[in-house]
Every structure is written in structure tokens, then in C-alpha cells.
Amino acid sequence: MPAPRLKRRADFVRVAKTGRSRRERGLVLQTAPRPPDTPGEMPRVGFTATRRIGGAVSRNRAKRRLRALADQVLADQAQPDKDYVLIARNGTLTRSYADLTSDLLRALDKLGELIPKVHNIDP
């Protein structure tokens, strides 16, 4: 199930100004606490790609890759009370999907945003 999306510019600006960020080879991850007036059970996520990535076709392709990545990783691995912004870099288009996944997981880990895995061991 896709994570709820950030759509308003004010949300992107709030995450950039009040949150923390981590740069990886394939993407930049920004995170900030969700405002108290917007409860939810899943993290919210937004995507951006600047003109440095290329023309409209390249930017759209980069955002599609980031959306697929977020839908796969953030719903299970990220804190539900946070807002995330994924920013495309030049490496977003050229890195393999597995490398992008490890970039996002590494960024979440370094920012302390990963949900700890609980290992159930039956005796």
C-alpha cells in the first residue's frame, strides 16, 4: 500500500527547514516530525527532482523510481509519525534498484529512523 503523499509546498519547506537530512549516492533523504494536527498510521512522503537531473522525461523517471522505492521500503521500515522527502540526484537514474534500496535504508539508519526489527524465536 502506498504511503500518503506530501503535496503542498509548505510541507516540503517545513521538512527542509525543521528536519534533518542525509545524502547518499542515489538520493537525499529529509525527515521531520509530522505536525500534531495530521495524525496517521503511515509515514507521509514527498518527492522532488530539480532541473539538474535533466529534462522533464528524466525528472519524471527519477521520481517514478523514488516512488516505487518509497512504497516498498518506507511503509515497513520507517517511523510512522514522520514526514519524509526523497530528493533525486544524478545517481537516481543510473544506480541499480538494489543500490537505491540500500541507499535509502542506509540513510534511514544513519538518521535513526529505522523501525527496529523484532526477531521472534520460538523455543
pLDDT in tens, 61-110: 999 999 999 999 988 888 888 999 999 999 999 999 999 999 999 999 99
pLDDT for the residue numbered 122: 55
Boundaries of domain holding 104: 9-110
Domain-embedded: residue 2? no
- The tally of domains found in the chain comes to 1
Domain-embedded: residue 104? yes
- Is residue 54 left, alpha or beta, with left meaning phi > 0 and alpha meaning psi from -120 to 50? left
**What is d(CA 53, CA 20) in angstroms, rounded to the nearest whole number?**
22
**What is d(CA 18, CA 21) in angstroms, rounded to the nearest whole number?**
10
Domain-embedded: residue 84? yes
Domain-embedded: residue 66? yes
Domain-embedded: residue 72? yes
In this prediction the pTM is: 0.89
Domain-embedded: residue 38? yes
DSSP 10-28: HHHHHHHHHSEEEE-SSEE
